[in-house]
Amino acid sequence: MATASRIDPGAFDALPLDKGIVASRRRIEAMEALLERVVVLPGLNRPIGLDVILGLVPVVGDIAAAALGSYIIWEARNLGLSRFQMMRMMGNVGFDAVLGFVPFIGDAADVLFRSNTRNLRIIRKHLDKHHPSTVTVEG
């Protein structure tokens, strides 16, 4: 029997609210997990998140998903990412939003094109280079 969720429900309980780099990294990782990996699709064993679920609501859902994805970009701006990195991240969220406006194809594309995961990868690369003390070991 497949489990409905592989994410610890307590993972979002105690997110830090301070302005530190480690706190920002934890908030970004939690938002990415919420948007991309909340539940696992039965049969496909592919995780989906709020981004896909919101994408099922025409127009408004895609706008809401893009707004939530923009939070990650806002946090990245506060971390001091370069303009090039910021433009790449905005392009990822914008491309995901534009794809979402196409009926049926956009919903399938949300499962395959994970803009928030791509943006998290950009942020992690920046933090690992400029702030190596924030590196966390994935378990």
Q: For 30-64, what is each residue's pLDDT tens digit?
A: 999 999 999 998 888 889 999 999 988 988 999 99
List the structure tokens of 30: 């939690």
| Overall domain count for the chain | 1
Q: Is the pLDDT of residue 93 over 70?
A: yes
Measured CA to CA in angstroms, residue 37 lies from 2, 41, 75, 86, 131 at distances of 15, 10, 20, 23, 26
Classify residue 138: in a domain, yes or no.
no
Asked if residue 60 is part of any domain, the answer here is yes
13: in domain? no
For residue 10, tell me if it sits in a domain. no
Please give the sequence-ordered ranges of beta strands (E in DSSP) within the chain, or none if there are none: 39-41, 46-48
Q: Please give the model's pTM, rounded to 2 decimal places.
A: 0.83
63 lies in a domain? Answer: yes
Residue 81 sits in which domain range? 20-40+47-132
Of the candidates 109, 30, 28, the one whose C-alpha atom is nearest the C-alpha of residue 62 is: 109
Rg (alpha carbons) of the chain, rounded to whole number? 15
- On whether residue 58 sits in a domain, the answer given is yes
For residue 1, name the pLDDT band (cuts at 50, 70, 90). very low
Residue 112 lies in a domain: yes
Note the pLDDT tens digit of each residue in 118-129.
Answer: 999 999 999 999
Nearest Cα neighbor of 12 from 33, 43, 36 is: 33
Side-chain-side CA neighbours of 28 within 13 Å: the count stands at: 27
In a domain, 12, yes or no: no
